[in-house]
């Protein structure tokens, strides 16, 4: 169980891989994929880590759990596969991006280009049963992804943490290193986007911070 991701995350998370709770997740998940429809595809469960190596993380955008509709989840928070209708939250993220930086990503919701530039698109829960949101809550994934946040918190190099909504904001207690920069607001969901998400300018704020620390800015255009 030592080569799950295929980059430096494997070494960083080696201790977690060996823990009892993680072994239980693996056993449970293997069974679930055989007997039920689970998202994302099994080889995409740790895709966010595979695309954004620990050493390359500049920004973290934290989601809750994967989309539970057919063909949507691709292992990255808020992202959907190409040619899939944009979910409401992603539509609002794109609205804010357009207002903030004038970038129009149209109907392509695949955020892989962000991940390739050092944006870790991490869901707190990494799997879900079809049409059953939060069905894998309290399975142990939260322990694993909290450990990821703690490992990132230990980095000397500053990271931008973008936390949308109360669930994501609950992770602020894990981000204690003063080198890091936290941007938080309400969630982009239609239920809360008008309570501080719209107008929060997370994309320009991120790039301003990266520029200040002499890091390459993120190109948010898909």
- b/e for 43-73, b at 16 or more Cβ within 10 A? ebbbbbbbbbbbeebbbbbbbbbbbbbeebb
Neighbours of 41 (CB within 10 A): 13
| Burial class of 15 by CB neighbour count within 10 A (0 to 12, 13 to 18, 19+) | exposed
Please report which residue ranges of 124-163 form alpha helices under DSSP H: 141-153
Sole residue written with tokens 């070494």? 11
The string of DSSP letters for 39-97 reads ES-GGGTTHHHHHS-GGG--EEEEESS---STTTB-SSTT-B-TTSPPPHHHHHHHHHH
Catalytic residues: 65
Q: Is 183 helix (H, G, I), strand (E, B) or coil?
A: strand
Does the CA dihedral 57-100-124-69 come out positive or negative?
negative
């Amino acid at each position: 169980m030592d080569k799950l991701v295929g980059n430096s995350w494997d070494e960083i998370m080696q201790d977690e891989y060996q823990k009892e709770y993680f072994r239980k997740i693996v056993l449970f998940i293997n069974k679930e994929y055989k007997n039920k429809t689970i998202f994302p595809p099994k080889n995409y469960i740790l895709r966010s880590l595979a695309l954004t190596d620990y050493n390359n993380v500049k920004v973290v955008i934290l989601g809750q759990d994967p989309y539970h509709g057919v063909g949507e989840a691709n292992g990255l928070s808020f992202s959907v596969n190409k040619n899939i209708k944009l979910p409401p939250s992603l539509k609002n993220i794109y609205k804010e991006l357009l207002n903030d930086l004038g970038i129009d990503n149209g109907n392509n919701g695949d955020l892989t280009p962000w991940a390739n530039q050092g944006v870790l698109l991490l869901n707190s829960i990494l799997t879900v049963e079809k049409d059953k949101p939060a069905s894998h809550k309290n399975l142990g994934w939260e322990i694993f992804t909290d450990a990821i946040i703690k490992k990132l918190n230990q980095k000397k190099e500053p990271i931008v943490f973008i936390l949308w909504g109360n669930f994501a904001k609950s992770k602020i207690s894990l981000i204690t290193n003063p080198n890091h920069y936290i941007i938080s607001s309400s969630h982009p969901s239609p239920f809360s986007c008008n309570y501080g998400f719209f107008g929060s300018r997370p994309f320009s704020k991120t790039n301003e911070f990266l520029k200040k620390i002499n890091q390459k800015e993120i190109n948010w255009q898909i």
